C-alpha cells in the first residue's frame, strides 16, 4: 500500500538477541517476540517470525516494517481495530483510575525508553510547544552518530513511548493516548532503522542513564525495556552464568534500582518455541518488573499464521507466545497486561498512528502505571518508593488469570493481571502507613 502515512499499521515486530554462548564463542539468534498476522477487514496486522543465522556477536534485532493504511472512514476492519485498542485500556480499568485518582497522571516523573528512538515532533509528545521528550541520547551509528539525536527510524520506540506517556490524540477517527500522559520521557536509541543493535550498547545506555541529571536535577524514575535476548531462563543465576555481557547489564540495572529507579522488562515472546516456563533476559532479573501479555478482548477462536491457536481468545487470557514464570520462582512474572491490537504513535509522521502487539506493548502499559504510582506515593511522602515495594504492590493488587486453552503446553498455574485503580490504592495505603 502506498501514499498516505497518516495511518500506519506496523507488522508485528519481534526481537532477536544473544542466546547462550556456543562452544565456538558465537551466539545463536532466534525471534523472541512473536509475530501475529491476522487480517481484520482487509487490514493486515502482524507478520510471521523468521529465523536468522548464528552471528558472532551479541545482537538485538527487530524485523518487519510499518505498512501504510489507505485513508478512509472508521468502518469495517478499521473500526474493529479502534475498538480492540480501546478495550485494552478498559481491561486495566484506566477510566476508573482517572476518576478515582484525579491529577495522578505521572506528572513530575520520567521514564527512559531504551529502544529505536522516538519521533520527538509527534503530536502525542508535543502540546503547545511543550515536549514530553526531556532528553535524547543516541548510542547507534545512525543520525550522523550525533549523541543527542535519537530520532526513530524504525517505529517500535515511538509506539512504546506513546503507550507510556503519549497525550490523547484523535486523527481521522482513530484515537490513542498513554497511561501516564503527564510524565516526561527520555529517548535512548540503541537500535537502528533495521531494528538492529547490540547488548553492549544497552549496557552503555544504562551507565549513561544512571549518571544523567536534567534541569533542576531531574532524573528518570523508571526504565522501559521492551527488548531482550531469545533465552528462556528459570532464574537470574541461570541467565548470568551464560554470558559476561549479561552480568555487566545486570550490575547496571542493580545500580539503577538502588537509586529507586523501577526497571520494567518485556517477559519475552518465545513461549511457543520453548513450551516451558521461563523468561528472557533481562526480565528474569528478580529486581525488575517483568511483564507478560494477555488478550485485551474477546475474539473467540483465534488462529495464528504459525499454527498457534486459542480455542477461546478472551480478555485476560495469556497469548500463546508470551513467556511466563510462576511467582513461586524468585523473579517470576510480576504482572500481565494487554498486549494485542494496541494503537500508538508512528514514526512516519507527526500525526501518524500504528498498531503493534506482544510483550513489547504490555511492558509500557505497566511502565505508565508505575509512573502514576510513583507520583502518588511521592505526593504523600516526598520520596520515591523502593522498586521492590512497587513490584510487591503490583502483585498484591492483582486480579488472577488461569493459563490454559490454546495450542501450547499450558502451565495450569495462576498469574497476576494489572488492575490500575487497585494498584494505585495499594500504593496510597503504603504511603500513609506510619
Which of the following is catalytic: 19, 33, 105, 115?
A: 115
Domain for residue 100, yes or no? yes
**Catalytic residue at 156?**
yes
- Sign of the CA dihedral 118, 122, 127, 128? positive
| Phi and psi angles of residue 316, each rounded to the nearest 5 degrees, phi first | 70, 25
How many Cβ atoms sit within 10 Å of the Cβ of residue 196? 18
Which of the following is catalytic: 33, 360, 362, 397?
A: 360
pLDDT at residue 198 in the model: 84
**Catalytic residue at 360?**
yes
Residue 187 clears pLDDT 90, i.e. is over it: yes
Domain for residue 109, yes or no? yes
Domain for residue 2, yes or no? no
Q: Count of domains in the chain?
A: 1
Range name among 82-91, 278-287, 300-309, 327-336 with the lowest pLDDT average? 300-309
Q: What is d(CA 198, CA 6) in angstroms, rounded to the nearest whole number?
A: 31
| Full residue range of the structural domain in which residue 298 is found | 7-432
| Rg value, the chain, Cα | 19
More confident position, 264 or 302: 264
Q: What is the mean pLDDT of the chain?
A: 79
Tell whether omega for the bond before 55 is within 30 degrees of 0, i.e. cis.
no
Domain for residue 326, yes or no? yes
Res. 42 pLDDT band, cuts 50 70 90: very low
User: CATH number for the domain including 356?
Assistant: 3.40.50.200
Domain for residue 380, yes or no? yes
> Hey, what's the cell of 216?
533542576
Which of the following is catalytic: 85, 140, 152, 156?
A: 156
- Core vs surface per residue 39-68: b (16+ CB within 10 A) or e: ebeebbbbbbbeeeeebeebbbbbbbebeb
Residue 163 clears pLDDT 80, i.e. is over it: yes
pLDDT at residue 60 in the model: 58
Amino acid at each position: 500500500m502506498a501514499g498516505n502515512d497518516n495511518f500506519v499499521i506496523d507488522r508485528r515486530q519481534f526481537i532477536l538477541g544473544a542466546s547462550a554462548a556456543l562452544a565456538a564463542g558465537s551466539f545463536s539468534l532466534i525471534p523472541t517476540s512473536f509475530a501475529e498476522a491476522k487480517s481484520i477487514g482487509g487490514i493486515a496486522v502482524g507478520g510471521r517470525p523468521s529465523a536468522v543465522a548464528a552471528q558472532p556477536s551479541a545482537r538485538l534485532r527487530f524485523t518487519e516494517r510499518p505498512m501504510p493504511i489507505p485513508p478512509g472512514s472508521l468502518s469495517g476492519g478499521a473500526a474493529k481495530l479502534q475498538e480492540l485498542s480501546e478495550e485494552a485500556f478498559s481491561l486495566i480499568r484506566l477510566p476508573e483510575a482517572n476518576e478515582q485518582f484525579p491529577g495522578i497522571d505521572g506528572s513530575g516523573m520520567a521514564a527512559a525508553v531504551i529502544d529505536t528512538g522516538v519521533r520527538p515532533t509527534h503530536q502525542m509528545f508535543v502540546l503547545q510547544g511543550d515536549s514530553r521528550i526531556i532528553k535524547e541520547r543516541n548510542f547507534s551509528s545512525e543520525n550522523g552518530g550525533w549523541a543527542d539525536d535519537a530520532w526513530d527510524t524504525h517505529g517500535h520506540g515511538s509506539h512504546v513511548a506513546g503507550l507510556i506517556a503519549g497525550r490523547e490524540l484523535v486523527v481521522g477517527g482513530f484515537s490513542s493516548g498513554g497511561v501516564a500522559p503527564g510524565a516526561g520521557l527520555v529517548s535512548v536509541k540503541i537500535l537502528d532503522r533495521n531494528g538492529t543493535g547490540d547488548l553492549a550498547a544497552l549496557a552503555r545506555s544504562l551507565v549513561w542513564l544512571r549518571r544523567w541529571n536534567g534541569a533542576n536535577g531531574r532524573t528518570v524514575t523508571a526504565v522501559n525495556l521492551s527488548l531482550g535476548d531469545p533465552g528462556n531462563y528459570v532464574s537470574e543465576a541461570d541467565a548470568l552464568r551464560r554470558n559476561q555481557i549479561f552480568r555487566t547489564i545486570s550490575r547496571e540495572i542493580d545500580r539503577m534500582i538502588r537509586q529507586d529507579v523501577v526497571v520494567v522488562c518485556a517477559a519475552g515472546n518465545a513461549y511457543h518455541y520453548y513450551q516451558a516456563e521461563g523468561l528472557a533476559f533481562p526480565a528474569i532479573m528478580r529486581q525488575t518488573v517483568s511483564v507478560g501479555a494477555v488478550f485485551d478482548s474477546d475474539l473467540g477462536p483465534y488462529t495464528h499464521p504459525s499454527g498457534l491457536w486459542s480455542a477461546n481468545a478472551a480478555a485476560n487470557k495469556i497469548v500463546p507466545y508470551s513467556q511466563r514464570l510462576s511467582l513461586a520462582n524468585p523473579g517470576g512474572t510480576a504482572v500481565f497486561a494487554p498486549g494485542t491490537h494496541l494503537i500508538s504513535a508512528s514514526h512516519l509522521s507527526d500525526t501518524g498512528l500504528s498498531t503493534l502487539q506482544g510483550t513489547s506493548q504490555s511492558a509500557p502499559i505497566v511502565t505508565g502505571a508505575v509512573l502514576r504510582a510513583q507520583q502518588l506515593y511521592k505526593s504523600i511522602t516526598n520520596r520515591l518508593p523502593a522498586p521492590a515495594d512497587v513490584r510487591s504492590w503490583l502483585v498484591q493488587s492483582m486480579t488472577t488469570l488461569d493459563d490454559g486453552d490454546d495450542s501450547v503446553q499450558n502451565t495450569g498455574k495462576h498469574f497476576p493481571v494489572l488492575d490500575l485503580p487497585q494498584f494505585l490504592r495499594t500504593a496510597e495505603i503504603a504511603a500513609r502507613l506510619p
